[in-house]
Amino acid sequence: MMRKFLVLLLVFMLTATLAVSFSGCSHVETISVYAPDGGPALGMAFLMKEFHEIDGVKVDYTLVKGADEIAAAVANGDADLAILPTNLAAKLYNEGKDILFVGTNSHGLLYLLTTAASETFTLEDLKGEVLHLTGESNTPEAVVRKILDSAGIVYEKSDVPIAGKVALKFYKDGSGIVPELVKGAIRYAILGEPAVSNVMQKAAAAKKAEVKIAADLQELWRTATNTTESYPQTSLVVKKSLWRSDKKLVEKIAKLTIDGSVAILDDPTPYLGYLIEEMESTQVPATLKLEGVERANISPTFGATAKAAVEAYFNILLAFDKDLIGGKLPDKNFYCGGLDELQDYKGIIKAFA
């Protein structure tokens, strides 16, 4: 009886050991990469077009409508890797979601557009005007409020102009602002690329109003925060389990995002075509030109540089509106660590052409 029990125990222990060892070295067969449509998707266009398999792992790419949808995909575990607003990454992490920050994807793509005739622009011009924008309780609102606060300009949420103040009128998305700008029905608005390019082209075609860029919000942010860096608007995050099981794969994808940023700036046509035709992007117009892609500031950064910039950004947001990052700074475990060797990597094109 005792012998039988010992044999059974031995078999059980062997099975358990084997199961644990196999699960420890298991490699994934397919991963899902999610990106929100529009500017952030530009940073993934190269990968989407060229890399459907990386080191034997099948890669499925999904474009989603916006921040809400990407948050849902990350929160419910559908996304193994995702591009999302950096503050949203912190918020989800602070809510206990299973993600890690890998690196920054873009450094701001917001621009202040105007239909006003004046050739010069200062923030003082916004007083007594309605500023039309998207991104309530998100990066655009935080950036605009920080810029206005630093310039000592008072603002208020309102649909109508207020004497001596800037009235902030929020829209759910840019599609409500674009026709108004084209008609010349509004004077000041904030949009992100590629909507900026689209609205300027459409306005030129309609000949009702001239829409021009009055200010680069990234520049205004640098002035407002007294820094040399723009804000890390979107970032790449990874599911903790994928980072643990296949760190090398994540590192390779991170490196490829740098190659992708070089490739799309070298010749955007094939990648934009792929985004529009194959990924059926609704936010990237077929008429987008190189200068529009440049204005999206796709410049992936990893390692200690990215971590320092993100921490500085979170500190500003924390002092400003802690809810934007989920009430507190994410702890050190939020950052996946490593990837320092990518800090000086500038990317190559030819190897992937």
Partner 1 sequence: MDKKRVLYNIGAPVLGLALFIGIWYALAQAIGISLFLPTPGETLVRFFKLLGEKKFYVAVGNTLLRTILSFSAAFLLACVFAVLSAKFRFFGKVFSPFAVVLRVLPTISVILLVFLLIRSRFAAYVIIFLVIFPMQYKSVLDAIERVDPLLKEMTEAYRFSWQKKVFSFYIPQMTPALLTGMSITLSFTVKLCVAAEVLSYVGKSVGRYMQQAYASLETETLLAWTIAAVLLGFLLEGLLLLLKKMIVRRYHGK
Q: What is the full DSSP assignment across 278-314?
A: TS--SSS-TT--HHHHHHTTEEEEEHHHHHHHHHHHH
Residue 91: Cβ-neighbour burial (10 angstroms; 0-12, 13-18, 19+): buried
- Site membership for partner 1, residue 179 (CB under 8 A): yes
Could you give the count of Cα atoms lying within 13 Å of 301 in the half-sphere of its Cβ? 19
Q: How far is the CB of 231 from partner 1 (least distance, A)?
A: 25
Q: Is 308 in the site for partner 1 (CB under 8 A)?
A: no
Closer to partner 1 by CB, 7 or 206: give it: 206
Q: What is the Cα–Cα distance from 332 to 308, expressed in whole angstroms? A: 11
Q: Is 206 in the site for partner 1 (CB under 8 A)?
A: yes
Is the CB of 110 or the CB of 209 nearer to partner 1? Answer: 209
**Residues 106, 198, 257, 301: which binds partner 1 (CB under 8 A)?**
198
- The nearer residue to partner 1, 254 or 279, going by C-beta atoms, is 279
182 is a site residue for partner 1 (CB under 8 A): yes
CA–CA dist 144, 215 (Å, integer): 12
At closest approach, how far in Å is the CB of 296 from partner 1? 16
Does position 285 interact with partner 1 (CB under 8 A)? The reply is yes
Q: Which is nearer to partner 1, 202 or 212 (CB)?
A: 202
CA-based nearest residue to 247, from 27, 21, 53, 46? 27
- Which helix H or strand E contains 247, and what residues bound it? helix 247-266
Binding to partner 1 (CB under 8 A): which residues in 47-76?
Answer: 64-65, 69, 72-73, 76
Residue whose CB is less far from partner 1, 44 or 64: 64
* Interaction of residue 180 with partner 1, rule CB under 8 A: no
C-alpha to C-alpha distances, 28 to 15, 19, 49, 247, 248, nearest whole angstrom:
22, 16, 21, 11, 12
Among 145, 165, 202, 247, binds partner 1 (CB under 8 A): 202
Contact criterion met (CB below 8 Å) for 26 and 237: no
Distance CA 249, CA 255 (A): 10
Q: State which residue, 208 or 222, has the beta carbon closest to partner 1.
A: 208
Binding site for partner 1 (CB under 8 A): 64-65, 69, 72-73, 76, 175, 178-179, 182-183, 198, 202, 205-206, 208, 276-277, 280-283, 285-287
